[in-house]
C-alpha cells in the first residue's frame, strides 16, 4: 500500500503554504526547516499533540481502571492470577501493528479500534505492578492493622493501597511511556496523533522537516511523561530517600 | 478461530513470500544488533570496569526504554532519508540502551572480593578485567543482549510502515494478504522473537562459568521489555 504509493509518486513538492525562505528550505527538503516548523506549529503540531495526549490519557485511564479491578480480584482470589496473567500476557505479546490490523474488521478504522489495542497493552504492565505492590506489603503490617480492628476493606484502603502506591506509580510510568510510543503507530488505524503527521510526511515524498518535528515531539512527550512520573514516584515515597540517607 | 486456522494455512501456502520476508527481517535486525553490540558492550564494560559514569549508564536504559520506536525511525528517516542503513541506525539507537546498561551493571556489580583476590594474586588491571570480571559478568551482559535483540526484532516490523520490507510488510498489507496474512505475519514475528530469545538464552547458559550456573542472572539495572516480545519471557525479565 504505502510502498506502492511511494513507488508511484514522483518528486512531489509538498505544498504547505508559508512563504519566502521557508518555501525554499521546504522544496529542497532539508532535514529541518525551523521557519516552516514555526509557521505550522499551531495549525499542524498543536492539534496533533493534543490528539496524541488524548489517545494516551484515554488508554491509560481505562487500562488503569480495568487493571485495578483485575489486581484486586487476583489479590483476593489467588487462583485468578494465573489466567489473568496469561490473557494479558498474550495481548502484550502481539506485535502492535498486528493487533491494530486484527481489530479493523471488527471495529473499523476508528478511535475505538486504537483504544482497544492501546488499552490491551497497558493491562499486563499495570496489573502485574499493582499486584506486586499489593503483595509487597509486609505481612506484619497487615497483621498489625487487623490487630487494631480494621476490617478487610479498611485494611485495603488505608494500609495496602497506600503502601502499594510506589509500585503502582512505577507501573503507570512504564505503561504511559509505552502507550505514547504505540500511539504513534495507532495513526495506522485512526487519523489522530503525532503518528498521523509521521505517516503523512512519509507519503508526501518523505517530507523531512515534518518527520523530524513529529518524531522529536513524540520523543519529548515520552521523556517528559517519564520524568513527571519519576518525580511523582519520589514524592510518594519520601521514606525511600530518607532511608538511603 | 477459523481465522487462526486459515492463518496457519497461509504459512505453507505462501512459504516463498514468508521466507523472503523473514530473511529481510533478519537482515535488518541482525545488522542492527551487530552494530549495537559493537557500540554498547565495549562502552558498558569499560565504564563498569572503572566504576565511573553510573548515573549516565543506568539512566541510559530508562531513557532508551521511553523512546517511542516509530518516532526514532521517523527522525532517522528525516535526518538521513529512507533506506536499509538509515532504519538500521534508528534500531541501533533503540537497542544500545539496554545492552549498555546491562553491561555496565554486570561489570560494575562483580563481587569486589573476587576482584580483590585477583589483584592480590598479582593480576594486572587488564587481566582482572578479562579473566575475572568479564566471565562473572557475562550472564547479565547476555541478558541485556537478549532483551535488546528481542526488542529489535519486534520493532523491525515498523520498517514496513516506512515503505521497507520484512515481515511487517505482510502485517501492514491487509489489502493484499487479508486477515489470514496479518495473523500469519504476526505469528511469524512472535516466533522469530521466541527463537531469538531461546537462542540467546542457550548462548547465555553456554558462556556462564559453571560455578555460576544456578544463580539468577538478573541485577537491579536490567531492562524492561516493550510490547510485542513477551512471548518467551513471561515475567522472567521484568523487575
Q: What is the mean pLDDT of chain B?
A: 82
Contact assignment for A2 to B230 by CB distance below 8 Å: no
Q: Which residue has the cell 598479582?
A: B122
- The reply to whether A181 touches chain B by the CB within 8 Å rule is yes
Q: For domain A39-234, which CATH number applies: 2.170.190.11, 2.40.40.20, 1.10.10.60, 1.10.3720.10? A: 1.10.3720.10
- Whole-number pLDDT of residue B237: 32
Spell out which residues of chain B touch residue A176, defining contact as CB-CB under 8 Å. none
Q: How would residue B230 be classed by pLDDT, with cut points 50, 70 and 90? A: very low
pLDDT at position B215 over 70: no
> A219 CA to chain B: closest CA distance, Å?
6
Q: Where are the alpha helices (H) located in chain A, listed in sequence order?
A: 2-8, 21-27, 34-40, 46-76, 81-93, 96-107, 111-135, 139-147, 152-154, 161-186, 194-203, 208-236, 238-244
- The reply to whether B229 touches chain A by the CB within 8 Å rule is yes
Asked if the interface predicted TM-score (ipTM) of this complex is over 0.95, the answer is: no
Q: Using CA of residue B186, residue B187, residue B188, residue B193, what is the dihedral sign?
A: positive
Q: Which residue has the cell 502499594?
A: A164
- Tell me the three cell numbers of residue B110: 562483580
Contact assignment for B75 to A219 by CB distance below 8 Å: yes
pLDDT digits (tens, 9 = 90+) for B176-212: 888 888 888 888 888 888 888 889 888 888 888 777 7
Tens-digit pLDDT string for chain A (245 aa): 566 666 555 555 555 554 555 677 777 777 777 877 788 888 888 888 999 999 999 999 999 999 999 999 999 898 998 899 888 887 887 888 888 888 888 888 888 889 999 999 999 889 999 998 888 888 899 899 989 998 888 888 888 888 888 889 989 999 999 999 999 999 888 888 888 888 888 887 777 888 888 889 999 999 999 999 989 988 887 776 666 55
Spell out which residues of chain A touch residue B84, defining contact as CB-CB under 8 Å. none
pLDDT at position B152 over 80: yes
Chain A residue with CA closest to B4: the answer is A102
- The domain limits of chain B are 2-212
Contact assignment for B158 to A104 by CB distance below 8 Å: no
Contact assignment for A177 to B75 by CB distance below 8 Å: no
Q: Which pTM value belongs to this model?
A: 0.79
Spell out which residues of chain A touch residue B235, defining contact as CB-CB under 8 Å. 85, 89, 128
pLDDT at position B41 over 60: yes
Q: Give the C-alpha distances (Å, rounded to integers) separating A132 from A90, A120, A128, A171, A174.
A: 19, 19, 6, 10, 15
Nearest by CB to residue A219, choosing from B71, B171, B226, is B71
> A218 CA to chain B: closest CA distance, Å?
6
CA atoms lying within 13 Å on the CB side of residue B110: 28
Count residue pairs from A and B with Cβ separation < 8 A: 165
- Which class is B2-212 in CATH? mainly alpha
- Whole-number pLDDT of residue B234: 35
- Whole-number pLDDT of residue A57: 95
- Whole-number pLDDT of residue A152: 85
Contact assignment for A185 to B161 by CB distance below 8 Å: yes
Best probe of the B interface among A29, A91, A95, by most B CBs < 10 A, is A95
Interhelix angle A96-107/A161-186, nearest 10 degrees: 80
Contact assignment for B171 to A174 by CB distance below 8 Å: no
Spell out which residues of chain A touch residue B157, defining contact as CB-CB under 8 Å. 95, 97-98
Q: Name the helix (H) or strand (E) containing B40.
A: helix B15-50
- Whole-number pLDDT of residue B216: 55
- The reply to whether B228 touches chain A by the CB within 8 Å rule is yes
Amino acid at each position: 500500500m504505502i510502498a506502492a504509493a511511494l513507488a508511484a509518486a514522483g518528486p512531489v513538492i509538498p505544498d504547505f503554504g508559508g512563504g519566502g525562505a521557508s518555501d525554499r528550505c521546504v522544496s529542497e527538503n532539508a532535514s529541518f526547516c525551523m521557519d516552516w516548523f514555526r509557521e505550522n506549529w499551531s495549525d499542524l503540531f498543536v492539534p496533533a499533540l493534543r490528539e496524541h495526549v488524548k489517545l494516551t490519557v484515554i488508554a491509560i485511564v481505562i487500562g488503569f481502571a480495568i487493571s485495578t479491578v483485575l489486581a484486586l480480584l487476583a489479590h483476593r482470589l489467588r487462583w485468578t492470577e494465573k489466567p489473568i496473567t496469561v490473557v494479558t500476557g498474550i495481548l502484550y505479546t502481539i506485535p502492535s501493528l498486528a493487533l491494530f490490523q486484527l481489530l479493523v474488521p471488527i471495529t473499523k478504522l476508528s478511535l475505538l479500534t486504537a483504544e482497544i489495542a492501546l488499552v490491551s497493552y497497558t493491562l499486563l504492565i499495570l496489573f502485574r505492578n499493582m499486584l506486586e505492590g499489593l503483595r509487597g506489603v509486609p505481612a506484619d503490617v497487615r497483621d498489625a492493622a487487623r490487630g487494631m480492628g480494621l476490617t478487610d476493606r479498611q485494611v485495603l484502603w488505608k494500609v495496602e493501597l497506600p503502601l502499594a502506591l510506589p509500585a503502582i506509580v512505577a507501573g503507570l510510568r512504564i505503561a504511559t511511556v509505552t502507550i505514547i510510543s504505540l500511539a504513534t503507530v495507532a495513526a495506522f488505524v485512526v487519523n489522530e496523533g503525532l503518528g498521523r503527521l509521521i505517516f503523512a510526511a512519509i507519503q508526501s515524498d518523505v517530507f523531512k522537516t515534518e518527520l523530524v518535528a513529529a518524531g522529536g515531539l513524540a520523543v519529548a512527550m515520552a521523556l517528559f511523561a517519564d520524568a513527571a512520573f519519576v518525580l511523582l514516584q519520589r514524592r510518594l515515597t519520601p521514606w525511600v530517600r530518607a532511608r538511603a540517607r | 478461530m477459523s481465522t487462526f486456522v486459515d492463518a496457519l494455512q497461509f504459512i505453507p501456502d505462501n512459504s516463498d513470500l514468508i521466507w523472503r520476508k523473514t530473511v529481510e527481517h533478519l537482515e535488518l535486525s541482525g545488522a542492527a544488533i551487530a552494530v549495537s553490540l559493537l557500540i554498547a558492550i565495549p562502552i558498558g564494560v569499560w565504564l563498569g570496569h572503572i566504576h565511573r559514569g553510573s548515573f549516565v549508564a543506568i539512566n541510559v536504559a530508562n531513557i532508551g526504554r521511553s523512546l517511542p520506536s516509530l518516532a526514532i525511525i521517523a527522525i532517522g528517516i528525516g535526518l538521513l532519508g529512507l533506506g536499509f542503513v538509515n532504519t538500521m541506525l534508528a534500531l541501533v539507537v533503540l537497542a544500545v540502551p539496554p545492552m549498555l546498561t546491562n553491561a555496565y551493571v554486570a561489570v560494575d556489580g562483580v563481587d569486589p572480593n573476587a576482584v580483590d583476590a585477583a589483584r592480590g594474586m598479582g593480576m594486572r588491571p587488564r587481566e582482572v578485567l578479562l579473566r575475572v570480571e568479564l566471565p562473572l559478568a557475562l550472564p547479565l551482559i547476555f541478558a541485556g543482549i537478549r532483551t535488546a535483540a528481542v526488542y529489535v526484532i519486534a520493532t523491525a516490523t515498523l520498517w514496513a510502515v516506512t515503505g521497507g520490507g520484512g515481515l511487517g510488510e505482510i502485517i501492514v498489507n491487509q489489502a493484499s494478504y487479508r486477515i489470514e496474512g496479518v495473523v500469519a505475519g504476526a505469528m511469524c514475528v512472535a516466533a522469530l522473537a521466541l527463537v531469538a530469545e531461546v537462542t540467546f538464552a542457550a548462548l547465555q547458559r553456554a558462556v556462564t562459568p559453571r560455578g555460576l550456573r544456578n544463580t539468577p542472572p538478573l541485577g537491579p539495572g536490567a531492562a524492561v521489555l516493550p510490547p510485542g516480545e513477551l512471548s518467551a519471557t513471561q515475567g522472567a525479565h521484568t523487575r
